[in-house]
Chains A and B, each alone.
Chain A
Amino acid sequence: MDLLPSILFLQSILAATWRMATPIIYAAVGEVFSERAGILNIGIEGVMLIGAFTGYATAFASGNLVLGLLAAILSGIISGLIFAFFTITIKANQIVVGAAFNMIGMGLTGFLYRAFFAEGQGTLSLKTFQTIEIPFLSSIPFFGEVLFKHNIMVYATILLIPLAAFVLYHTAFGLSIQAVGEHPKAADTVGINVFLMRYLSVIIGSSLAAVGGAFLVLAYADQFVEGIVSGRGFIALAVVVFGGWSPWGAFWTSLLFGVFYALQLRIQTMPGVLIPYQFLQALPYLATLLVLIGLTKRRIRAPKTLGVPYK
């Protein structure tokens, strides 16, 4: 008899998990591509913000969510091109350029938001992507709630991961990406265009980061808030490492983070809990870290030339 509330509690947490993890999944899978090719883009937090704002502004102006998403992807491509130009062509330090992106992302989106939206005329909220209940499956007790009542951008991650893994491990393109991150000179000697591969990987990475950011305004919250990404880009960076630079690893690690994130949100809203919310907010970060330190026994190695410009 006492079991039911616990099950419902667990159900509500797990139902939120995938949704919470989704923006991180997008950003982390993208970053896997970038880092596999040898480029460490710590600027994805900023790119996510740019994606979120672009997606929001476009969707708001046009009233079309899909257009908003496409605009966000475009902003990701442009961000990626700029990042790649500085780090690959000019060979600037990747950490410095990444940090600059984070600051620009924060400042630029905050400025534009205030300039165009903060005047408070009428509603600023969007009609977000709606929950799609999968027929029959969604009525399965427990699992229906957890797995089959989400919006399209959440479902899409389950297609994205196998696709990303397929591209990375089972196509000549993916092989080239791995090669330019491990041993760019070897790739060069067999005729692979190292610069081109790295450009493409960075662009894939930042486009997906922008999608992750856009998710926050198009399918999670219904409007843009300054700093809405709030560290998810940085979490994604850690997720890539803990996930062993593989798409599936990034996926599971993101979900793990999502569990704890959902858990702390629930605890915050529970009556009678006296833990200061700052501690609760730190929980997902801490817990993910601890769990993964426990789990990560096998020696996974970063791509050999991660962070090192070629020639």
Chain B
Amino acid sequence: MKEDCAQITDNPGIILCMQDIFKSFPGGVRANRGVNLEVLQGEIHCLLGENGAGKTVLMSILYGLYTPDSGSIYFKNKKLEIHNPKDAINNRIGMVHQHFMLVETLSVAENIILGKLPPWKTLNNLTAVHQKINQMSTDFGLNVDPTALVQDLSVGEQQRVEILKVLYHGADLLILDEPTAVLTPQESENLLDFLRQLADLGLTIVFITHKLEEVMQISDRVTILRDGKTIATVNTLDTNPKELARMMVGRDVLMDLKKKEGQSGEVIFTVEHLLVNDERGLPAVRDVSFQVREQEVVGIAGVSGNGQSELALALAGLLDCKYESMTLNQKSINKHDLSNLNQLGMAHIPEDRQKMGLILPFSVSENFIVETYKNEPFSKTGFLQFKKIKNYALSQVKKYNIRVGDVDEDIAHLSGGNQQKVVVARELDRRPKFLLVNQPTRGIDIGATEFVRQQILAERDSGCAILLISTDLEEIFALSDRILVIFEGKIMGEVIPEDIKIEEIGLMMAGTKIEAA
């Protein structure tokens, strides 16, 4: 596998060759430990690996955001010295980051020309820029308005602006970092088509992902990274998802969850005619009613931004709402109860673990007890019992197989998957009667996803009523007993996963009302 980049530079087919890349960060994280990557001209090359495998770091090195400790980069048969993004841009390398690099308060056109003009240039004549953006937008079917402010655009639109930003200035190599993580199935489909179109025009694309289906669907070749090392580079046609998963995780992965036949029992949670306004005061959840039974997972499917966040926040007592009636365990819930539903048997796994689920500057053990610190045995006569807290944290870490060096270290240092496991462990350990779960596996690796989903199902089997909100249709199908489809804050219909095709749900998610057969 290992070839010397310097030897093969006369091969015109190879556009990029990265060799023996090492990069470690202060604090001892060794993100890249001898990575090799070879990309052919005009291909779509997937960089596959779990979170923390070093994919993003490798591409950030190529884009000049990090300087490697050692290693060499050859691009278009030339040894490349890249010290900052400007060097990358000048070499016609463009990157679309996972977290968008757009200034929200500026317009699309302003974002696109940002940093490209000499400082004294005035912006009074943006018409030419607008025209070119409109032209490209039409050519590629991107539908981007150059005068719109970025903050008014949807996530999908913002991503199109990011891609346009690279294409506008011309690039030979386009790097995309987990571009579908924020998109709906339809949007992802469109994006993949679009990338294929670009590759056919001769653009070389490096596509970072941890989703196997995407690799199979889009790539010509794939390089698998694990623990900061290159495991292999293979032709996509010569491999299969199972093999890829094994190389990525380093062991066999259980792809299908075993779901026991549901035996839903008594009604645990009901809400009638729920109305919620979003932060701007606009209606986000419009007259939603449903119930969740014992030993049942009710899935809320929908494209992101159709009221799911507001629904979850309202039920968690974090956003003001109106409703006709709400019950938990046959007890009627008034506005006052709503803010402490967790004392009445509800647990909540929020959609954003970093902002809502955890307190990042706190240690792992402190995060385990943020809800229960006042109770015995963690607290006695107003004093925290550190030893008991630590022992409890140690037992949880062991029970849920959370990979952590020391329970006293900051939780911010854990990987996304392990952070999510802490949230799940904390919430489930309270033995809830009703569990509200929002996007439980967003942005975490396969191993952790598998684990979290198993935990949710196990909780169901032990009798918990679960409301699962997810934009990941596959997840909804894998876990739910019943599915409610939400569109613009309204429930479009209720379906049973066994009786419906993904396409039909897709239609409902786009606003078509279908009565359950």
Contacts and interface: CB of A to CB of B under 8 A. Distances in A.
A120 interface: no
A187 B113 CA distance: 11
Given A190-B85, A190-B115, A191-B86, A171 B103 contact: no
A175 B102 contact: no
A172 interface: yes
Interface secondary structure of A, over-half rule: helix
Interface stretch (B30-38, B119-127, B356-364, B472-480): B119-127
Contact of A191 (B89, B106, B119, B120): B89
Nearest to B89: A191
Interface secondary structure of B, over-half rule: loop
B103 A191 contact: no
Q: How large is the interface on B (under 10, 10 to 19, 20 to 34, 35 or more residues)?
A: 20 to 34
A179 B102 CA distance: 9
A189 B65 contact: yes
B84 interface: yes
B101 interface: yes
Contacts of B119: 171-173, 176
Contact of A170 (B115, B118, B124, B165): B124
Contact of B115 (A182, A185, A187): A187
Interface in B91-125: 95, 97, 100-106, 110, 113-124
A179 B106 contact: yes
Interface in A148-178: 166, 169-173, 175-176, 178
Nearest to A299: B280
B104 A183 contact: yes
A175 B110 contact: yes
Interface in B61-108: 63, 65, 84-86, 89, 95, 97, 100-106
Given A191-B85, A191-B89, A186 B123 contact: no
Contacts of A175: 106, 110, 113-114, 123
Contacts of A183: 101-104
A169 B107 CA distance: 12
A189 B85 contact: yes
A178 B106 contact: yes
B118 A172 contact: yes
Pick the most buried of B102, B103, B165: most chain A CB atoms within 10 A of its CB: B103
Interface in B445-474: none
Nearest to A183: B103
Contacts of B95: 189
Given A172-B113, A176-B114, A179-B114, A189 B101 contact: yes
Contact of B114 (A169, A192, A301): A192
Contact of A190 (B89, B105, B122): B89
Q: How large is the interface on A (under 10, 10 to 19, 20 to 34, 35 or more residues)?
A: 20 to 34
A191 B63 CA distance: 11
B62 to A, nearest CB: 13
A182 B122 contact: no
Nearest to B100: A186
A21 B113 CA distance: 37
Contact of A172 (B84, B97, B117): B117
Interface in B120-155: 120-124
Nearest to A191: B86
A179 B103 contact: yes
Interface in B45-73: 63, 65
Contacts of A176: 114-115, 119
B106 A189 contact: no
A101 B52 CA distance: 43
Nearest to A171: B122
A187 B86 CA distance: 11
A193 to B, nearest CB: 9
A191 B121 contact: no
A141 B101 CA distance: 55
Interface in A175-221: 175-176, 178-179, 182-183, 185-192
7 contacts: A172-B120, A173-B120, A178-B105, A179-B115, A188-B65, A190-B89, A190-B115
Interface of B: 63, 65, 84-86, 89, 95, 97, 100-106, 110, 113-124, 165
User: Which 10 pairs show the lowest CB-CB distances between chains A and B?
Assistant: A191-B86, A190-B115, A186-B101, A173-B119, A172-B117, A192-B115, A172-B121, A189-B101, A182-B103, A179-B103
Given A171-B122, A175-B106, A187-B115, 12 more contacts: A169-B123, A170-B122, A175-B113, A179-B103, A179-B106, A183-B103, A185-B101, A186-B103, A189-B63, A189-B101, A190-B89, A190-B116
